[in-house]
């Protein structure tokens, strides 16, 4: 990996004196390593080879938080890149940074590159669009949580692997059976706040925060201590107490347990596909995220996680033209279809989904379209468009802490969520006063 970067650096440094005459350089900072890093590099190379006016220079700047920090520090020093990858949690921070960012719809209009905001999937686009419908950043990698099933583990515990797992009620029964059948890790999860609170709320069409989850204004308050969320977390807490839900950590630590075949059920992003399909030595399948029948007759859509591309202020007009061309290239159906099929991330345009379906990918890889269906089956409501909260990275940290208190039995779900609301709200007020 490092060798590749060094090689690319050496090549670009060697070539730049010659190319600088004709080509405009565009800096692109991202957070991907490993397989994803290679795929991003391939996209950039394809774009660079497809035209001779612009050259995109991609660089990896660490994980999501580190990349955002690098971008912010660079802006303060006047060295910001043209394109910065920012995870969905940083969306409100970027939106409020008027003067530091150049909205994508504006970049596209000025550059004259082809751009049709309606081509993007609503529930993906909604996250990064103003209430007036202007796209601020380009959705790049978006995933949504699904339920991964280890069929061999189900079989071993004497449970029919084809059992209906569409609702949490049914999952609850299956967890009992798995436990009785000797399974030591019936259920495990990644990204607990994202899946079991943020997506849970959207999926059951209940607000996570006031003011349309923060879309309608900075004076938003958390509403995650409502009966629906508390009911779910209470059930999860009981499962944790009985050893039916195993807590492994705040991030995606549980993925290692599941891929090693140690757990039966796993709630994780659809983008877990790349890792699971390459490592799992057991039969697995993908199911839609379960919902509570007691709370809703039919679930709403889930929301996304992942990152979008923000264009930073302070560069030359012809460079922005290059940015526009590149973003337009990234949104094209074939590029998106490849990305979707290789990574398990959602296609960001409806057309990329069609291309994938027509190619027969979903038929040969069953379950890979579940995330797409789950996201697009219903038109998003105010509760399921996404979340836009300031200091959200810290708020997630608070939620993680409070959830740990539920899993360890130190607090009831109600106490923990009341405390999370109180602590989170005080951060939201601070963010509001810092961005007035």
Partner 1 sequence: MEKRVTFRGWLLPLVLIAPQVIISAVFFFYPAAQAIWQSLFIPDPFGLSSQFVGLGNFEFLLSDKFYRASFLTTAIFSTLVTLCSMIPALFLAVIADRLIKGSGAYRTLLIWPYAVAPAVAGVLWLFMFNTRVGVISWYLSQLGYEWNHVLNGTEAMGLVVVASAWGRISYNFLFFFAALQSVPRSVIEAAAIDGAHFWRRFFTIVLPLLSPTAFFLLVVNVVYSFFETFGVIHTITGGGPQQATTILVYKVFSDGFVGQDLGSSSAQSVILLIVVGLLTVIQFKYVEKRVHY
Contacts with partner 1, residue ranges (CB under 8 A): 65, 68-69, 72, 75-76, 93, 96-100, 247-250, 253, 256-257, 260, 262, 391, 393-394, 397, 400-402, 404-405, 407-408, 410, 423, 426-427, 430, 433-436
Identity of the residue, 151 or 250, whose beta carbon is nearer to partner 1 in the bound complex? 250
Q: 284-287 and 101-102 as β-strands: parallel, antiparallel, unpaired?
A: unpaired
Q: Which residue has the tokens 């959200």?
A: 392
Smallest separation, CB 1 to partner 1 (Å):
19
Distance of CA 48 to the CA centre of its chain: 27
Query: Is residue 82 a contact partner of residue 323, using CB atoms and an 8 Å limit?
Result: yes
Q: In angstroms, give the least distance from the CB of 76 to partner 1.
A: 5
Classify strands 138-143 and 305-312 as parallel, antiparallel or unpaired.
antiparallel
CB nearer to partner 1: give 92 or 327.
92
* CB of 258 or CB of 326, closer to partner 1: 258
Rank residues 224 and 406 by Cβ distance to partner 1 and give the closer one: 406
H-run or E-run covering 83: strand 83-87
Name the minimum Å distance from CB 412 to partner 1.
14
Q: Least distance from C-beta 15 to partner 1, angstroms?
A: 33
Report the run of H or E that residue 50 belongs to, with start and end.
helix 34-50
- The distance of closest approach from Cβ of residue 242 to partner 1 in the complex, given in angstroms and rounded to an integer, is 14
Q: How far is the CB of 269 from partner 1 (least distance, A)?
A: 20
**Pairing of β 245-246 and β 101-102:** unpaired
Gyration radius from the chain CA atoms: 22
Q: Which is nearer to partner 1, 94 or 121 (CB)?
A: 94
Would you say 100 or 157 has its CB closer to partner 1? Answer: 100
**Distance (Å, whole) CA 60 – CA 43:** 14
Please enumerate in sequence order all residues whose Cβ is within 8 A of that of 58, keeping only pairs 6 or more positions apart, or say none. 28, 29, 30, 40, 41, 44
């Amino acid at each position: 990996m490092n060798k590749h970067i060094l090689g690319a650096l050496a090549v670009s440094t060697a070539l730049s004196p010659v190319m600088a005459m004709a080509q405009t350089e565009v800096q692109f900072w991202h957070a991907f390593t490993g397989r994803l890093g290679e795929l991003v590099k391939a996209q950039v190379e394809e774009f660079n080879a497809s035209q001779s006016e612009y050259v995109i220079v991609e660089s990896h700047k660490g994980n999501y938080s580190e990349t955002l920090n690098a971008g912010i520090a660079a802006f303060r020093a006047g060295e910001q890149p043209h394109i910065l990858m920012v995870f969905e949690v940083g969306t409100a921070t970027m939106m409020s940074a008027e003067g530091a960012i150049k909205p994508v719809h504006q970049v596209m209009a000025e550059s004259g590159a082809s751009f049709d905001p309606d081509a993007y999937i609503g529930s993906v686009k909604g996250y990064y669009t103003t209430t007036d419908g202007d796209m601020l950043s380009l959705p790049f990698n978006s995933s949504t949580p699904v339920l991964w099933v280890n069929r061999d583990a189900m079989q071993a515990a004497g449970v029919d692997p084809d059992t209906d797992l569409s609702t949490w009620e049914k999952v609850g029964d299956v967890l009992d059976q798995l436990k009785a059948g000797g399974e030591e890790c019936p259920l495990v999860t990644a990204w607990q706040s994202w899946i079991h609170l943020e997506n849970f709320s959207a999926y059951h069409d209940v607000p996570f925060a006031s003011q349309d989850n923060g879309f309608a204004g900075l004076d938003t308050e958390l509403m995650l201590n409502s009966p629906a969320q508390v009911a779910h977390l209470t059930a999860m807490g009981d499962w944790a107490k009985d050893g039916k839900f195993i807590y492994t950590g705040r991030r995606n630590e549980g993925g290692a347990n599941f891929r090693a075949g140690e757990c039966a059920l796993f709630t994780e992003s659809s983008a877990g596909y790349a890792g699971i399909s390459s490592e799992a030595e057991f039969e697995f399948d993908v199911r839609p995220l379960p919902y509570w029948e007691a709370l809703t007759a039919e679930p709403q859509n889930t929301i996304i996680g992942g990152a979008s591309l923000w264009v930073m202020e302070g560069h030359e007009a012809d460079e922005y033209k290059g940015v526009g061309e590149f973003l337009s290239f990234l949104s094209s159906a074939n590029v998106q279809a490849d990305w979707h099929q290789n990574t398990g991330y959602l296609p960001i345009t409806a057309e990329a989904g069609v291309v994938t379906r027509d190619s027969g990918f979903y038929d040969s890889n069953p379950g890979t379209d579940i995330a797409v269906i789950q996201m697009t089956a219903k038109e998003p409501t105010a509760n399921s468009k996404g979340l836009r909260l300031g200091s959200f990275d810290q708020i997630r940290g608070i939620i993680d802490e409070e959830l740990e208190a539920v899993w360890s039995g130190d607090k009831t779900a109600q106490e923990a969520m009341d405390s999370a609301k109180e602590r989170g709200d005080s951060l939201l007020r601070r963010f509001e006063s810092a961005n007035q």
